[in-house]
Chains A and B, each alone.
Chain A
Amino acid sequence: MRKVKALQAAIVACGLALTGSAVAGGASAEALAYSCAGCHGTNGVSNGPASPTLAGMAKPVMVETMKGFRSGDINATIMGRIAKGYTDEEIDKIGDFFAKQTFVAAKQDSDSAMAAKGAKLHEKYCEKCHSEGGDAKIAAEDEVGALKGQWKPYLHYTLEDFHNGKREMPKKMKKKLEKLHKAEGEPGIKALLEYYAAAK
Chain B
Amino acid sequence: MSKFTRRNFLKATGGAAVAATALTASPFAIGGASKKVVVVGGGMGGATCAKYIRMMDPSVEVTLVEANKDYYTCFMSNEVLSGYRSIDSIKFGYTGLGKHGVKVMHDMVTGIDADKKMVTTAGGQKLSYDRCVVAPGVDFKYDMIEGYDAKVAESIPHAWKAGAQTVTLRKQLEAMKDGGTVVICPPVNPFRCPPGPYERASQIAMYLKKEKPKSKIIIADPKPKFSKMGLFTEGWTKHYGYKGNGQAGGMIEWYGTPEGADDNVIQEIDASTKTVTTGFAEYKADVLNVIPPQKAGKIAFAAGLTNDKGWCPVNGKTFESTIHKNIHVIGDSSIASPLPKSGYAASSEAKVAAAAIVAMLSGGDAPHPTFVNTCYSVIAGGDGISVAMVYGYDEKAGKITKIKGSGGLTPGRDKQDEAMRAREVEYAHSWFENITADTFG
Contact = CB atoms under 8 A, between A and B. Distances in A.
Interface string B373-388: 0100000000000101
Helix, strand, loop or mixed for chain A's interface? helix
27 contacts: A7-B14, A10-B14, A10-B17, A14-B17, A18-B20, A20-B24, A30-B28, A31-B25, A31-B352, A31-B369, A35-B370, A39-B374, A46-B430, A47-B433, A48-B433, A49-B429, A50-B423, A50-B426, A51-B430, A78-B410, A78-B427, A81-B388, A81-B408, A84-B405, A85-B405, A85-B406, A86-B390
Given A13-B17, A46-B434, A153-B426, 8 more contacts: A27-B25, A37-B438, A40-B434, A51-B434, A78-B386, A84-B390, A85-B372, A85-B391
B371 A11 contact: no
A6 interface: yes
B14 A38 contact: no
Contacts of A36: 372
B351 A34 contact: yes
A38 B438 contact: yes
Contacts of A78: 374, 386, 388, 410, 424, 427
A27 B434 contact: no
Q: Which of A17, A38, A40 has the most chain B CB within a 10 Å cutoff?
A: A38
A7 B407 CA distance: 46
B403 interface: yes
B348 interface: yes
A30 B358 CA distance: 13
B231 interface: no
B209 interface: no
B379 to A, nearest CB: 14
Contacts of A21: 23-25
A185 interface: no
Which range holds the interface residue count of chain A? 35 or more
A51 B426 CA distance: 9
B355 A31 contact: yes
B382 to A, nearest CB: 13
A77 B82 CA distance: 25
Contact of A38 (B24, B348, B406): B348
A31 B386 CA distance: 23
Interface in B341-380: 344, 347-348, 351-352, 355, 367-372, 374
A42 interface: yes
A104 B253 CA distance: 47
Interface string A141-153: 0000000000001
Nearest to B14: A7
B431 interface: yes
A22 to B, nearest CB: 9
B420 interface: yes
Q: Which of A28, A42, A77 has the most chain B CB within a 10 Å cutoff?
A: A77
Contacts of A31: 25, 27, 351-352, 355, 367-370
B52 interface: yes
B430 A77 contact: no
A60 interface: no
B390 A77 contact: no
Interface in B391-412: 391-393, 403, 405-408, 410
A84 B388 CA distance: 11
B372 A6 contact: no
A51 B431 contact: yes
A28 B344 CA distance: 20
A41 B351 contact: no
B392 to A, nearest CB: 7
Nearest to B386: A78
A52 B405 CA distance: 25
B12 A6 contact: yes
Given A27-B369, A35-B370, A82 B423 contact: no
Interface in B187-243: none
Interface in A30-80: 30-32, 34-42, 46-51, 77-78
A35 B23 contact: no
B437 A30 contact: no
Nearest to A11: B16
Given A49-B429, A51-B427, A42 B16 contact: no
Contacts of B392: 26-27
For the complex of A and B, the 7 pairs showing the least CB-CB separation, nearest first, are: A85-B390, A26-B368, A85-B406, A14-B20, A27-B370, A50-B426, A35-B372
B423 A77 contact: yes
Nearest to B348: A35
B367 A82 contact: no
Contact of B19 (A14, A25, A46): A14
Interface string B173-193: 000000000000000000000
A39 B367 contact: no
Contacts of B23: 14, 17-18, 21
Contacts of A25: 368
Q: Which of A3, A13, A42 has the most chain B CB within a 10 Å cutoff?
A: A42
Contact of A14 (B16, B405, B410): B16
Contact of A7 (B16, B25, B344, B348): B16
Contact of A6 (B13, B374, B408): B13
A39 B420 CA distance: 17
A30 to B, nearest CB: 5
Interface string B415-441: 000001001101101110111011001
A34 B367 CA distance: 14
B418 to A, nearest CB: 12
A25 B367 CA distance: 11
A39 B435 contact: yes
B110 interface: no
Contacts of B370: 26-27, 31-32, 35, 90
Contacts of A30: 26-28, 56, 355
